[in-house]
Every structure is written in structure tokens, then in C-alpha cells.
Amino acid sequence: MPRRPAPGRPRPAAAVRALPAITYPDDLPVSARRGDIAAAIRDHQVVIVCGETGSGKTTQLPKICLELGRAEYGMIGHTQPRRLAATSVARRIAQELGTELGDWVGYQVRFSDRTGRAAAVKLMTDGILLAESQRDPLLRRYGTIIIDEAHERSLNIDFLLGFLLQLLPRRPDLKLIITSATIDAERFSRHFARQGKPAPVVEVSGRLYPVDILYRPVAQDKPEAAGGDTGRGARAGADEERDLIDAVVDGVAECARHGPGDVLVFLPGEREIREAAEALRKQHPAGAEILPLYARLSQAEQERIFRPQGNSRRIVLATNVAETSLTVPGIRYVVDSGLARIKRYSWRNKVEQLRIESISQASANQRAGRCGRIGPGVCVRLYDETDFRARPAYTDPEVLRSSLASVILRMKALRLDDIESFPFVDAPSGRAIADGYQVLQELGALDDANRLTEVGRELARLPVDPRVARMVLAARDQQCLAEILVIAAALSVQDPRDRPAAERDAAEAAQARYADDKSEFLSYLKLWRWYQEQVGHKASQRKLVALLRQNFLSPLRLREWHDVHTQLAALAGEQGWRTNQLPATYEQVHMALLAGLLGNIGLKSEEGAGYLGARDIRFHIHPGSRLVKKAGRWIVAAELVETTRLYARCVAKIDPVWLERAGAHLLRRNWSDPRWEKKAGQVVANERATLYGLPVYHGRRVHYGKIDAAAARELFIRQALVPGEIDSELPFVVQNRRLIASIEKLEHQSRRPDILVDDALIYAFYDRLIPADVCQTATLEKWVRGLDRQAAQALLLTRDALMRHEAAGVTTDVFPKKVEWQGVQMALDYHFEPGSVRDGVTLTVPLFALNQIDPQRCEWLVPGMLKEKVLQLLKSLPQKLRRHCVPLPDYAASFYERWFERADDPQQGLLEALAEDMWEHVKVRPARSDFKLETLAPHLFMNFKVVDEHGRMLSGGRNLDQLKAEHGRQAQASFQKFAARDDQVAQALAHENLTSWSFGTLPEIMEIRRKGQSFIGYPALVDRGTHCELDVYDDPAQARQQHRAGLLRLFRLGLRDQVKFLEKNLPEITRMGMLYMSLGTQEELKEQIIDCALEQACLAEPWPVDEASFEARRAEGKGRLGLVAQEIARLAGQILNEWAALQKKLPQAKPHAQAYADLQQQLGGLMGKWFVRDTAYGQLVHYPRYLKAAQARIDKLRADAARDARLMAEMAPLLVQYQRARAALKGAADARLDEFRWMLEELRVALFAQELRTPMPVSVKRLVKAWEALRR
């Protein structure tokens, strides 16, 4: 016999008062078996009651227990899988007992408790009982526990069954009743076997009337509609594919044809329910009542279903909540879609999959069992019989398709056995268990040995999902508990925001006030604050509910959210956690969220839409999110749910820097490119960290010694000590570095890499002496300071140990350290590294001296490299020339002996010297172009390094002309700045606002001295417009150009009256100005003519160098200036007349593109804006003839274009060569090239207008020879 309550245990309040009258409805099958059930309960600790849905077991079993006196042993706990079922069943039992709800019978669901102190029967969700088991592992309040709907095999049910199996031996007074539909009840019986004897099973017949099963697959043609049905289903014919909603409409219509009675339609989800309801309302008379049934329904809407009113047909559209949990009264027909939305957890991807799946055979039979209780029933299955028989017999229990993290955490907190040995009805797979452990380790709830941590113990106290609990815990540390409690509560309930399909736009507009552009989590905060503000207004409940519904908010879910928040806040208070008073920052809030959601981070995919998630998954932001088009590169989501695709719900932008802190224990780090870093004094590597495969950071420089000390030591020796690349003044480091550098210098100079021993020998030397824990500068210096003198001496290398052999012939005579150029000493550096830009000899050129570097002298390199360069030059010659010098090495050696003395200060370039030497000794003279310089190795050309006054490199390369073109102006400015620091030069140039020669004698050159160096400058008179100044230049050509302009300005100022007269009285200036208009203004032409006249009248060679010679020239020019100016004006007028005539004829040449282009190019070179000023007078006098020749060419072109083309072909190579050479100069002057240019103009006259004659014989052949001489 079961024991009475033990002494000291309080007697249940229900045991001291009389039971209410207990009756049993005769129409329920369980009533007929109540005696057998009572006997089984009385005689056994565990009883299995098996009956089909509708048999009455849920409502009658608690009454049987009351009648047995089980209330005397403790409360009768009765669990239900769903809150809706718990509340409705409690109301029904209380109604049958004739008592108020909460008196004898009450219920408790999450955050709602309607059980009085004297209540004997307590309906609750299985989650409530599990929560109580954590506070009271022996469940002392209960004498009887009924686990209802055990066949649903939810995670909580399976855990309760395993927990109770272990508890029963410790509580022999406890009775356990398990109810199940007719689904594998034997399995429960065997699971609770005692000493090999299964628990008794009491079978209760359910259905009272037969049920016809009709198979009507969705894809089949529609059945014939009776009575001319023109509904949606009737329209789905050959032209329109029948879908699920069509099939539902047809199925309901077929049920209606069988007779009166209510219809229960099973659909997979709320969306399908809404669509079906809309379709049915259009096709059925207004009298038919269409009612939805799903878990989120309000209490009032539930009451409509369980309390039918009137006689109209009811069509109930339900999810699988009506399959076993709830019995809808009055059902005569069932339409079964054969589908349900099943939640599955993917342990591979760590995401929830909420997919519509085909139900099992057992579930299908459960659904069919819902009809046939009030008369013969009909079940229309929207699939065929073959499909039915192919389906699995039973639905997978939830423990096999859910994350086990919360179960494992609860078991650890209850100190139960490990999950591997826990007595589940169906044991989960090892992989699923491993995933549960992994999730908890991610949250910090378990250590590496899967032991519960302090964090885990704190998580177990919070009645929410472990991830949400982890956020709350992190919020305590992040000082954002106030915000996270709100968000955590929101994530633990259903979203209170409604978006009815028919009013989606209105709902979105109403809810926009809570939206946040960066985080949907913060939207919950904004909504919460608004809701609390409305509650604070203390309006009536009716007005508040109306306001909420007006804003498309669910009052029921908001109240639930409030209750969850209240409980979480109370728990936090009990733990002594303080809520922050100041608002938390965005970072604080999301750092706390990340603590629980590290598996839900995402990185924007570079390959297209969507995000890369943890463990190589890909997901998209849910289309309903406000951030779907403007989320950041990194996001975190509250959940990842797979429906048609994997979607992230409730997302926020995050900074990847936060991941490093929030997920520090989960980061996987790897290292690449370990290397010595001299400045840091340690071996460093690039660190890359990933979180579940996503790159959190990369390229971070870290100390490699802490990662791999042995490898760091090897690199330290190999890359720091061996090459001397260490920033330390330790004696052995300094001396060894100097010794190795001196030997390496010999190698670079001799271009022989075999003098210094291999690095491996030096490495072995240090490896033998350096301790294992020394891998950076600091530890090396600390170790060396502790050595005695003898040990420190052992670290010194010797010259004999480092050199393979002596380097004969490597002296400063042939490999000088520096070279002097016009008084400036410049360093020479030698480097042997073929392929490197530094290979060969490098001349370090101060910027101020750049323009003074002579390219011809640089061709000679240094004496030690001359022999090799000459040999390579000889090899580059055509065979017909080089054969005279064989054997080439001997000739190169003899040339070296003959020219060695002159190599330091040559008067000509190396190529010219070699050509001259060959003419003298072998009687052949190669042209400069015969030497194929491009075949020579780069190190046989001088390398230049241009540096500023602080020694910093500005530019470099082997092309001196290019360096001068790029930096010539900077060099000139630097030269003048440098020269100005010489006191004597500064004093000589200190003459400003010069309008006459009042500065003594102007020397041709000036010696400039600075910091022990002296170099040459070229003084010049510089035109400043209204006056002149003195300056010094580094280039004689530029100095002469500036001096010419300065002299002209000084003569102009000295002949003011004469110049003014000319400005007013130049002959024909107005007419010439009209002709010149397309080039410039009349004033500009006038200025050029006067300047040209001044030059011809006053600037004959030699130019004046002192006041006396200047005044003599001024006096001479005063008398000649007017006549000279008239002559130049006449010449300018003649040129402009011919040019105007040519411009008129030029369009006639357009049909001949090649000739036209050449004429355009010729005119562009002759008739620039400053043609009078910039053209030497000796050439200017030929301009009329050149322009007449061009006109004659056009005249002849029309008559014989072929002749013009032939002559142009002869001349074209010369033009191309000239243009290339001019372009290579980049604006620099070249007198020989200028002379060739005028020869080309004469050649045009000779070829195209012979009748105009030329002042000297010219031909293509003569110009070819002239070009060859020029290039030599």
C-alpha cells in the first residue's frame, strides 16, 4: 500500500475538506474503464493509460485520482504540452466539478498562476514542472503526477520521463500516470518496467462511430462539383494547377455534401490558415462560421471554438495543436492536409529548420480520430493511400530533432547523470550530444572537461533559453542590465507586433515609430518604452487594449512580455545584480547580446547577396526586416531559421572588434610570415583570428616568441644576428657586424659572392652559444650582461673564420669610395645583387649638384669595372666590326691599360673614346648607334641616388636625363639656396632693383664654398619685368639663357626713349597685328620685334661683362636701334604675309592626309606664338623661303601626289629620329640637335620646292650622314 505523507511533511490543504461531487460523463469511453484505471493506479506506482483522442482521459483521470484520495498524498500535478491545453483543460475539469477555477482545480503556465492554496489538481505545462524540479528535485509537493499526451514526445516530456524514472525509487509514495494516444504505448510500458516487468497499460476505446477515409490528393483532377459548384476548387482545372488551398476548399465542399456537421481542417501554419479562411469565406454561405485555431490565439478566440453557439456549420482551421492536445467539440468531418510545420535543429549548421513536412502515419490516424464521436465520420486526406503507407510510422521525438544544450544544462544543474547515460525513451545521437556540449562551451557554461562552470550555474537559475540567459549574464558585466532584461524577455516570447496580411502596409506604418536603423534589438527597447509610457497614463484597460490593437500590437503577448521581464528582473534582484541607472551605449548592449549569439554572426558575402555565417553557412536577412537592404558588413541575428531558405531574424549591425572580446575563448588563431623586426627587437608574425570560420581580423603583428619560442629563436639568429640586423650596442654585435660588413664590401666591389663564408656557418656559431630562451633583443642583452669576460669574448667572430680566401686587387684605386665633381664630393656605393635595382655602383648625388653631373663621365663607371664594361660593349657591336678586335678580352684589357689614367677625369664619353681607340688601332670607327647598349647588363650603367640636404632619397635610377627632367627645377632651387649660404656669393649677388649696370664686373663663373666643399656656379642677370636681379645657376646653358633676357631688359631700360618711340612708330604694325591675331595680340608681336631689334643692335658677341662695356654697347645700340627695328619689322611682315597665304592654301592639302599632317607639323614648329623672339635672327631670315616652299608643295601636290608621297617616305625616317631625340631631352637644350632641325627645313625646300634653292647643298643622304655624326 502507498505510504501516507511522512511525518513532518505538511498535510495537503485539499485533504482536510470534503470532495466536491464527482460524476463521469457516460458518453466518454474512459468512464466505462474508470474502475480498471483506479485499480491500476492503486496497485502500481506507474500506469500507462492509452486511448484515442476524445476518449476523455485528459479530463477524467484527475477526477479518478481525487476519488482515490490521492489528494491526501500531495497535489495532483497534471502536465500538458501547451499553455492553451493547460488552461482549457483546467477550466473544463473545474466546470465538471462545479467549482470555481483555482479552488479545487487550477492551472499554472508561464507567468500566470491560477492555483489557490487549497487546490488539489494543478494543470501546468511540462516546462513548469521541470522548473519546479530545479528548486525541488524530489517534487515533494506532489503525490501524483500525470504526464499527458506523452505520445507527442516533446523535449520536455522526454526529459520529464527520464527524470521521473530516476526519481520514482526515491519517492515510493509518488504515483506516475502517463497518458498516450494509441501510439506505441508499449514503448512507455517497457521504459518504466520494474524488475523486468513492464508497467501496466490500460486501453481505453476512443472512437464511438466508424470513420470513412477518403484519399483526395492535391495534384489530382478535382472531383465533380455537386449542384454546379463554381468555387475556387471548381475553377482549378486544366488551365490552372490545383494547389493546397484549392484542395482544402474542395475537401470542405465534399464534406458538406455528406451532410451537416462541423469540419476540422488540419493545415501546417498560420499563413495557410489565413489563405484557406479567405478562400472559404468566398465560397461558403454567410451562415458558415470559419474559425482559426493555433497556439497564439487570444483567450476570447479560444472560447468561440470550445463553446459553440447557434446551429450554423463551423469550419475550424487548425494547426497540429488540435491533433492531440485539444478536443474540438462537435467535429463530424476532418480534412487532413497531411502536413505540419516541424521544427528541426541542424547540429551541423547550428540553426533551426522550420519546414513543412509530411506527418507520420500515427499523426494521420490521430487526426482521423478527431471525427466519428458524435456520429459516423468522414476524413478527407489530401494525399493518396500509397503516400500514406510510405510515411514513417511515428513522428521523430523532439529529443532527436532539437538542440540538447538546455537539457544538458538542466541535468548538470540537477546533478543528474551525464546525458549519455540518462534514461531517455529514445537516446539522442552522440553527435547531437556533442553539439549540446559545444553550444554550452561556447556560452562559457561548461569547461573543456564538460564540467559546469560558475557561469553555467548562473545560467541554470534563469528560466529562459541558455543563449538568452547568457546575454543577461553579460549585461550584468557590461552595465546594461536594464536594456538587456527587456530584450531578453522579448526574445523569450512571441513577437507582440502583428502584421495582418490584409493590413500589412498600415501595420508597418504604425510600427515605424519603434524602428531603429542599426539594430532591431533596439526596436524592442523603443517599443517597450512606448508601452510602459501608455501603461503609465493609467487609462482604462479597455482603452489601452484598443490603443494597442490600433497600433497592431497583441495585448496578450505584450502582457506576457511584461511578465517575463518582471520575473527576470526579480531573479536578477535576488542575485544582487544592480540595474544600470545611466542609459547603456550601443556597444554595451550589443556586446552583451553577442555573448549569447556568437553562433549567429554574419559577414557580408563578397560574391553576391546574403551573408556568410558561422561554420560556413550562408543566410539572408528576412525580407520583413527593416535592415534587409541597409545592414552593415557585420551583423548578429537573434535566430537563424530555415524555411524556404535560411533566414536571419532580428538583426543588428556590429563592429568586428567586439567579436574579439565577446568570443575570445572561441577564436581560432593562426600565424603566417614569421620574421625578424629590427625596430621592435623581436620576431613577429602576422596573426589571423577566425570565429567559426569568419575572419575577425588578419595581419595583426604579434610577438612570435610567445607562440613558438624555438622557431622564434631560430629566426632571431638567422635574420638578426647573422646579418647584423639588430638594434643593439652589445660589443660582440657591433664588432661582428663591422667585420662582416667589411668582407661583404669586398664582395660587392669585386662582384664575387664567394669571399664570405656561408650564413649557415655563422648561424651554427651563434646557435652553439645562444641559450634556448633567447629569441629577442631584450633577452639577449639581459643574458650577455650576466656573462663573464671570457664567455663574452667567445661571441666574437674572427676574420680568418669568416673569409674563404683573400680578395686580391680590390683597392680604393680601382674601387674609390667617393668621386669629386666640380668641387663636390659624392659617395660611391657598391652592391652585388643581379636583378636588384641596386646592383652595380651607385653615385649618391646631392640635389643641388644634379644638373652639374656630366653623363659622359658617368659612362666610365669606376676603373675596377671599366674592363668588364668595355668587353661587353665590344660584344654588342655587329660582327663585321667586332671581328677586328678579337680576342675581345685581350682588346678590352689593352684598352684598359691605355685609358686607365684618363678614366678618373675623361674629356669625352666612353663610347666616343672606344670608337676613337678602335680607329687608331684596328682602323674601324663604329658609330654610337652601333653599340647595342640595351644588351648590356644593368650594373654596367651608373646608378644614381638623388638625395636632399638631409640625405633622404628623393629619386633614383640609371637614366640621368630622366632624373634631370623630373628634378631639374628642384635641383636649381636647391643649388641657389645652397649658394646663398656662401657669404661671398651672397654679397656678390646682393643687388636688387637693377635698372642700370651698377654692380661691377660679372664673372663667367663663381666658386661656391660650403661645409668644406666647393663647386662652380654660373652667375646671370635675371629679368624681373620692371628691373633686374643677379642670381647664380648650376647649368651654364640655363644661366646664358637667363642672362640674355636680363641684358635685353637692362638695354631696354637704358634706351627708354628709343623704345617708346618704336612702340608708337613701328611700320605696318597694325596690319601685321591683324595677320598675327590667331597667334597672339598686337602688343605681344610688338614686344618681340623690339626685343629682337635690341638683341641685334646691342647683343653682339662677346656680351658685356662690366659697366664700361655695357655702356659702350648701349651707346652703339642707341644709334642703330631704329634702323634695325625697321628691318626686323619688315621681315616679320613678310613672314606673316607668306603665312597668311599659306593658311589659305592649306585646306587644299586635306585630301592627302600624310602630306597635310606633315605640313601641319612643320607650321606648328615654325609659327609659334613667340616665333620672332625665340628664333635666332640668322634662321628667322629664312622663314619667308620656308613658307613659300610649303605653298609650292601644295601647288605641286595637286598635280602629282605620288611624287610627294615618295619624297615624304624618304624624309620620314629622319623626321622620326629627330622627334624621338627631341622628346628624350624633355625640354633640355641641344645645339647640335637644333642645327639638325634647320637642316631638315632646308631638306623640305630641296625636295618640294627646288626652284627656291638652299644656302648649302642638302639631300637625304647628306642628312643621314649628319645624323650618324650627331649620334656619335
| Mean pLDDT, range 585-592, rounded to an integer | 96
Counting residues of the chain whose pLDDT is more than 90, the rounded percentage is 44
Q: Are residues 1030 and 1117 in the same domain?
A: yes
The CATH number of the domain where 287 resides is what? Answer: 3.40.50.300
Q: Are residues 73 and 196 in the same domain?
A: yes
Q: What band does 464 get if pLDDT is binned at 50, 70 and 90? A: confident
Q: Please check whether residue 193 lies inside any domain of the structure.
A: yes
Q: Which three cell numbers stand for residue 939?
A: 650594373
**Cα–chain-centroid distance for residue 246?**
48
* Poorest-pLDDT segment among 83-92, 248-257, 596-605, 746-755: 746-755
Q: Are residues 485 and 600 in the same domain?
A: yes
pLDDT value at 987 more than 60? yes
Q: Please check whether residue 115 lies inside any domain of the structure.
A: yes
Other residues' Cβ atoms within 10 Å of the Cβ of residue 254: 20
* Long-range own/partner contacts, residues 989-996 (CB < 8 A, 24 or more apart): 989/1019, 989/1029, 989/1030, 989/1031, 989/1032, 991/1029, 991/1030, 992/1027, 992/1029, 993/1027, 993/1029, 994/1021, 994/1027, 994/1028, 994/1029, 994/1030, 994/1050, 995/1027, 995/1028, 995/1050, 995/1053, 996/1050, 996/1053, 996/1054
Other residues' Cβ atoms within 10 Å of the Cβ of residue 431: 10
Q: Please check whether residue 699 lies inside any domain of the structure.
A: no
The whole-number pLDDT of residue 225 equals 38
> Which SS3 state, helix, strand or coil, does residue 713 take?
helix
Element (H, E) at 188: helix 185-191
717-733 pLDDT per residue, tens = 999 998 889 999 999 88
Q: What band does 751 get if pLDDT is binned at 50, 70 and 90? A: low
Q: Please check whether residue 68 lies inside any domain of the structure.
A: yes
Other residues' Cβ atoms within 10 Å of the Cβ of residue 784: 18
| Mean pLDDT, range 882-909, rounded to an integer | 84
**Sheet order of strands, 262-266 included:** 211-215, 377-381, 331-336, 262-266, 314-318, 289-293
The whole-number pLDDT of residue 231 equals 42
Q: Which three cell numbers stand for residue 513?
A: 515609430
Q: What band does 89 get if pLDDT is binned at 50, 70 and 90? A: very high
Please give the Cα distance from 693 to 170 (Å, whole number): 48
**607, 642, 628, 581: which is closest to 348 by C-alpha?**
642
> Which SS3 state, helix, strand or coil, does residue 505 take?
helix
The whole-number pLDDT of residue 300 equals 59
The whole-number pLDDT of residue 327 equals 66
pLDDT value at 235 more than 60? no
861 close to 914: Cβ distance less than 8 angstroms? no
| Mean pLDDT, range 559-564, rounded to an integer | 86
Domain final position from 750, 778, 802: 802
> Which SS3 state, helix, strand or coil, does residue 47 take?
strand
Pairing of β 818-821 and β 694-703: unpaired
Please give the Cα distance from 142 to 62 (Å, whole number): 13
Q: What band does 182 get if pLDDT is binned at 50, 70 and 90? A: low
| Mean pLDDT, range 784-791, rounded to an integer | 90
Domains identified in the chain, total number: 7
Q: Please check whether residue 362 lies inside any domain of the structure.
A: yes
233 close to 335: Cβ distance less than 8 angstroms? no
236-245, 791-800, 1123-1132, range with greatest mean pLDDT: 1123-1132
Q: Are residues 18 and 160 in the same domain?
A: yes
| Mean pLDDT, range 1026-1030, rounded to an integer | 91
Burial code (b: 16+ CB inside 10 Å, e: under 16) for 591-623 equals bbbbbbbbbbbbbeeeeeebbbbbeebbbbbbe
Higher pLDDT, residue 1139 or 746:
1139
The whole-number pLDDT of residue 807 equals 52
Alpha-carbon Rg for the chain, nearest whole angstrom, is 52
| Mean pLDDT, range 1063-1074, rounded to an integer | 90
The whole-number pLDDT of residue 229 equals 42
Looking at every residue in the chain, the average pLDDT score rounds to: 86
Stated length of the chain: 1272
Give the Cα-Cα-Cα angle 351, 353, 358 (nearest 5 degrees). 160
Other residues' Cβ atoms within 10 Å of the Cβ of residue 757: 16
**374, 375, 336, 380: which is closest to 358 by C-alpha?**
336
Element (H, E) at 1022: strand 1013-1023
**Cα–chain-centroid distance for residue 1101?**
71
Domain holding 658, by residue range, is 462-662
Domain final position from 396, 420, 449: 396
Element (H, E) at 1020: strand 1013-1023
**Cα–chain-centroid distance for residue 1?**
73
Please give the Cα distance from 266 to 381 (Å, whole number): 10
290 close to 277: Cβ distance less than 8 angstroms? yes
**Sheet order of strands, 1006-1010 included:** 1006-1010, 1013-1023, 1028-1033
The whole-number pLDDT of residue 174 equals 96
Q: Please check whether residue 698 lies inside any domain of the structure.
A: no
User: Phi first, then psi: what are they for 607, rounded to 5°?
Assistant: -90, -5
Q: Please check whether residue 768 lies inside any domain of the structure.
A: yes
77 close to 83: Cβ distance less than 8 angstroms? no
pLDDT value at 228 more than 50? no
Q: Are residues 979 and 1066 in the same domain?
A: yes
The whole-number pLDDT of residue 299 equals 55
Q: Are residues 728 and 787 in the same domain?
A: yes
Please give the Cα distance from 153 to 180 (Å, whole number): 10
Q: Are residues 949 and 1052 in the same domain?
A: no
User: With DSSP H G I counted as helix, E B as strand and the rest as coil, what are the percentages for the chain, rounded to 5?
Assistant: 50, 15, 35
Higher pLDDT, residue 475 or 298:
475
**1085, 1084, 1089, 1109: which is closest to 1099 by C-alpha?**
1109
The whole-number pLDDT of residue 10 equals 46
pLDDT value at 241 more than 80? no
Q: Are residues 1114 and 1221 in the same domain?
A: no
Q: Are residues 916 and 854 in the same domain?
A: yes
- From residue 19, how far is each of 30, 37, 547 by CA, in Å? 21, 20, 45
Counting residues of the chain whose pLDDT is more than 70, the rounded percentage is 91
The whole-number pLDDT of residue 399 equals 85
Q: Are residues 863 and 754 in the same domain?
A: no
Please give the Cα distance from 821 to 904 (Å, whole number): 11
Angle between helices 863-876 and 910-922 (to 10 degrees): 70
The whole-number pLDDT of residue 325 equals 56
855 close to 961: Cβ distance less than 8 angstroms? yes
Q: Please check whether residue 1136 lies inside any domain of the structure.
A: no
37 close to 16: Cβ distance less than 8 angstroms? no
Q: Are residues 168 and 132 in the same domain?
A: yes
Torsion sign, CA atoms 1132, 1138, 1141, 1142: negative
The whole-number pLDDT of residue 1080 equals 92
Which residues have CB under 8 Å from 807's CB, separation 6+? 746, 747, 749, 750, 752, 755
Pairing of β 953-957 and β 943-947: antiparallel
Cβ burial, residue 1271 (10 Å; 0-12/13-18/19+): middle
Q: Which three cell numbers stand for residue 263?
A: 469540419
Tell me the β-bridge partners of 175: 144
Element (H, E) at 1113: helix 1107-1145
Higher pLDDT, residue 622 or 906:
622
The whole-number pLDDT of residue 223 equals 43
Domain final position from 1067, 1102, 1130: 1130
pLDDT value at 238 more than 60? no
DSSP-derived letter for residue 183 is: S
Burial code (b: 16+ CB inside 10 Å, e: under 16) for 1078-1093 equals eebeeeebbbbbbbbb
Other residues' Cβ atoms within 10 Å of the Cβ of residue 1169: 15
DSSP for 1043-1074, please give it: HHHHHHHHHHHHTHHHHHHHHHH-TTHHHHHH
Q: Looking up cell 664594361, which residue turns up? A: 869
**28, 37, 5, 149: which is closest to 84 by C-alpha?**
149
Q: Are residues 907 and 1041 in the same domain?
A: no
